Amino acid sequence: MEPAPVSLTIDIPSCTACKACELACSFIKFGHYSPSHSLIQVLQVYEEGVNVPIVCVNCEAAPCMDVCPTEAITRDDALGIVSIDGDLCTACGECVEVCPYGAIHIPEKSDIALMCDLCGGEPACVLSCIYGALKFKNEPDIVYNTIKKDFTNIPGDDRNWAVAEELAAQVSLDWEVQP
């Protein structure tokens, strides 16, 4: 299976961590403004001075789908978007543990796992991003594909930070002046 033909692409240097994307997402999905209930999470890597939005990249292998005991995680065949059916999800956390990018989380006091589903092809976060850090494109994601490390040995709840720090370090390296 090929990578998803659509993606949320991220221009990390343009992200100001205004969190408008998180607020738009939580409002569209749950009817209230709550960053913890957002399907996109913006992590601020202070050491590098970089903000990194963490989203599902619709992995070709999609290990989250393989481990879901209730088959709540499926892929839309037309767009390639992986999503969680909240009616079937039991918040067991198996998907959180296997997601290679830490893009799935279970908010405190929640009974479902959350991950970006690109709003079915019309992501609210993109419309709210006034700095242009998020774009919806009809092409596979390339930002996450630059990651060369394997983060599967890091516990699922901390994996998103490891991914954010890796991406932030790559961005910082690009900013350095070459002699």
Q: Which residues contact 43 (CB under 8 A, 6 or more apart)?
A: 51, 52, 53, 54, 160, 161, 164
CA distance 54 to 67: 21
Q: Is residue 67 part of a domain?
A: yes
Q: DSSP secondary structure string, 2-70?
A: PPPSSEEEE-GGG-----HHHHHHHHHHHSS--GGG-SSEEEEETTTTEEEEE-----SS-HHHHH-TT
Whether 2 is covered by a domain: the verdict is no
Residue 142: what pLDDT? 61
pLDDT for position 177: 41
Residue 43 counted as domain residue = yes
Alpha helix stretches (DSSP H) within 31-142: 63-67, 94-98, 124-128
pLDDT of residue 124: 95
Instruction: Return per-residue pLDDT of the chain as tens, 179 residues.
Output: 455 677 888 888 899 999 999 999 999 999 999 998 999 999 998 888 889 898 888 888 889 999 999 999 999 988 888 999 999 999 999 999 999 888 999 988 889 999 999 998 889 999 999 999 999 887 766 666 667 677 777 877 788 888 888 888 777 655 544 44
Is residue 100, in this structure, part of any structural domain at all? yes
Predicted pLDDT at 148:
67
Phi, psi of 129 (to 5 degrees): -85, 95
Domain that holds residue 52: 7-175
φ/ψ (deg, to 5) at 75:
-120, 130
Whether 1 is in a domain gets the answer: no
| Cβ atoms of residues 82 and 73 within 8 Å | yes
pLDDT at 4: 64
Whether 139 is covered by a domain: the verdict is yes
Nearest to 132 by CA among 34, 49, 15, 48: 15
136, containing H or E segment: strand 134-137
Q: Distance (Å, rounded) from C-alpha 68 to C-alpha 70?
A: 6
pLDDT of residue 143: 64
- Tokens standing for residue 80: 């390639």
Nearest to 141 by CA among 59, 32, 38: 59
User: What CATH number is associated with residue 60?
Assistant: 3.30.70.20
The SS3 assignment for 135 reads strand
- If one counts the domains in the chain, the total is 1
Q: For residue 75, is it within any domain?
A: yes
What the block records as the tokens of 140 is 């596979």
